[in-house]
Chain A
Amino acid sequence: MIERDYDVVIVGSGAGGGTVAQELAPLVRAGKKVVVFEQGPKLEDHEFTGRELEMSADLYEDGGGFLTADGTMTLAFGRAYGGSTVVYTGTSLIAPSRVIRRWSVPGLDFADVERRSQKYMAENSVHFLPRVLINENNKLFAEGCARAGYHAEQFPLNLKGCKGSGLCNLGCPNAAKMGTNRVQLPNAEAEGVEVVTRAEVRRLEDHCAIVHVTEKAPGRKGLPSTWAPGEYRVRARMIVLCGGPIGTPTLLLRSPVTAAIKGVGRGFTCHPAHILVAEHDRPITNDVGHPKSYFLDRAADEGYVLETCMYFPFVTAKNLTGFGQEHARFMLRFPRLQMILVLACDGAIPENRVTVDKAGKPVVHYTFSPPVIKSFVAATRAAARIFFAAGAVRVHAPEAQPTAIDRRDAYRVDDLITAANFLPGRTSVSAAHLMGGCGMGRGPRSVTDSRGRVAGFPWLRVADASLFPDALEINPYLTIMALADRVAEGVRNEVGAMSTVHAA
């Protein structure tokens, strides 16, 4: 096994890891050694083709098909240089103050989260998409909301030079989305932070990461790793875990040195989501233009958020409920389809958790609670009203039986869309906003404090969405960056005061 020494090891390169890497660059200027290990590949710009299957295979864990233990929900998370920031839509919202207050994490207040979030909004060129670039799929949502008595808001987005390919979830083919792969990681590398891709941290030891670097497989995308394939023992003064709510608890649980930490993996939560599709009587612009311009925030009142969205043929087909003639009828009218993403807000409970199997692979135990199903139903009814108010002639609603609701039945949506029709395993549910598992706070359920410190492990930090002690109720990447910034600040101060490692 090859041995190497660093001052700081960062595990993961997404919203958390990319931020920490950039914020620790001053340490490198001061002579310290910092390295980032990313399990996925680094793609070259020309490799972002927008083709559904090939991009999913190279950018998502399990090609985007990672399932919860009972197989009722798909979890989508990135595995590439830049992590999930390569495959999100760039929506940049500051955490709601009510959520930060409810978290009640000692030492963490909304003003601090807001200040740090604003720093990254400026850094990532966050702005409103000009109206000239908003397509009909989005405009119809805003119009439908207004007519149905809802209050839609516009998403700030972190784009620079968006051409409106609509392919955000397959990695922007025009390098227009300002994820950590475009901003923070290049900044960090320019300052001398090393980023090693195709490098999986298999386990932790005391002040040490055991890393497995893999060779690029034939026919796959991405650059080869800068390190030769093989096993490495990497010693460090500090190890910062940024592998996300699946990766970080998994690594802690499969490492003998940390496996006994209480609460790790517990309190995993997410925003379970499904898509609703409506058919208009004419083609609309839907597969061109940024897919996500507006949202309706009903989290505080009814436990859900509606967002505009537009997916690709396979993902759309998969996420509709059912099959056969009715399903095909919607798919055949693709240019007439309007889409809304329903996100349910689910409070963290200990029973929903990440564990590891005998092979050390993550297993996510998650059950749809009655409040989540209630939120889904309320959200689906609202979305159906918005669709019809926008002029749709037919709506596909997973919680209706049959799933298609014609315009003439628009007045009956409350009767047709019911909790009894929500059948786990039949209704397609997926989640991309994964949270918790190493929750901040004080008390028996908390794993970390507000600076990402793990009690009893002074060499260990957590700086990703696993820090969230509960659901955020909005798109999370900006809050992850804000929290990672806090963690990085502490690491910078602490490691900056240490002597420098010299062994290579």
Chain B
Amino acid sequence: MAEHVLEPVRPIFRAIATAIVPELRSASANTWTELESQIERALAERPAPMRRQLTSFLRLLDWWSVPRHGRRLTKLDEAKRNALLESLERHPLLLIRRGIWGVRTLVFLGYYTRDDVMTFIGYRGHKDGWSARPEAQRERPAATPQDVGIVHKRPLV
């Protein structure tokens, strides 16, 4: 079922997600649940083979560290885990680089679309634009008559 793509690989996913977004080290259980639900909803819209590839890739990553470190990725300390993922991001095989890019994109999707995170990083986009930002309006210069006009040619600044 599309709703449970991450369930069988949850410890691996969370270990990698924490390396991708360090702030997730202090995430609450509720935050993790919401983040993973958001990702599950996005995955539900993707083709079934892609969902299977994701779980296979996460399992592959978990075992990738064994030959070098004698431990699975989930058992590595943070520094080694981060170093491994960074090296895989620049791996000679496109397939590996693509996989890392895909996982990081999913983590970002789950994390940076949260209202509390947008507030935390200072994003203040609002549909009312300038009207919603009186402090920014005060800094704006006054309009001049030549500011408005239909143009039909490429102009210079």
Contact = CB atoms under 8 A, between A and B. Distances in A.
A402 B102 CA distance: 21
Contacts of A423: 90, 97
A163 B151 contact: no
Interface residues of B, number: 62
B128 A165 contact: yes
A323 B16 CA distance: 11
Interface in A275-292: 283, 285, 287-289
B129 A328 contact: no
B104 A63 contact: no
Contacts of A190: none
A475 to B, nearest CB: 12
A174 B144 CA distance: 24
Nearest to A162: B129
A126 interface: yes
Contacts of A425: 94, 97-98, 101
Contacts of A72: 94, 98
Q: Which 3 A-B pairs rank lowest in CB-CB distance, beginning with the nearest? A: A164-B129, A425-B97, A130-B147
Nearest to A130: B147
26 contacts: A49-B127, A70-B98, A71-B98, A94-B153, A128-B151, A131-B141, A132-B142, A132-B143, A142-B157, A151-B156, A156-B154, A162-B129, A163-B128, A165-B129, A167-B125, A313-B123, A314-B108, A323-B19, A324-B19, A324-B86, A327-B20, A331-B112, A335-B122, A424-B94, A424-B97, A426-B100
B42 interface: yes
Contacts of B132: 288
A127 B148 contact: yes
A93 to B, nearest CB: 6
B77 to A, nearest CB: 15
Contacts of B74: none
Interface string B131-157: 111001001111110011111111111
Contacts of B3: none
Interface of A: 48-50, 52-53, 57, 62-63, 65, 70-72, 93-94, 118, 121-122, 125-128, 130-133, 135, 142, 151-154, 156, 162-167, 173-174, 283, 285, 287-289, 294, 312-314, 316-318, 322-325, 327-328, 331-335, 423-426, 428
A294 B118 CA distance: 27
B109 to A, nearest CB: 6
Nearest to A128: B151
Contact of A289 (B86, B108, B128, B130): B130
Contacts of A335: 122-124
A63 B156 contact: no
Contacts of A331: 112, 121
B34 interface: no
B138 to A, nearest CB: 11
B37 to A, nearest CB: 12
B48 interface: no
Contacts of B149: 127-128
A399 to B, nearest CB: 13
Contacts of B153: 94
Contacts of B121: 313, 331-334
B94 A328 contact: no
Nearest to A287: B125
Given A48-B127, A131-B144, 18 more contacts: A50-B125, A50-B127, A63-B45, A70-B94, A71-B94, A122-B152, A130-B147, A133-B140, A156-B154, A165-B128, A165-B129, A166-B125, A287-B123, A313-B118, A324-B22, A328-B22, A328-B23, A426-B97
A288 B157 CA distance: 21
B148 A130 contact: yes
Contact of A154 (B86, B136, B155): B155
Contacts of B21: 323, 328
A324 B82 contact: yes
Contacts of A166: 125, 129
B20 A324 contact: yes
A130 B21 CA distance: 39
A332 B157 CA distance: 32
Residue in A126, A283, A313, A335 whose Cβ sees the most chain B Cβ within 10 Å? A313
B147 A52 contact: no
Contact of A153 (B45, B109, B156): B156
Contacts of A127: 148-151
B105 interface: yes
Nearest to A361: B47
B125 A165 contact: yes
A163 B131 contact: yes
A94 B147 contact: no
B78 to A, nearest CB: 10
Given A63-B45, A71-B98, A288-B136, A154 B157 contact: yes
Nearest to A322: B89
A53 to B, nearest CB: 5
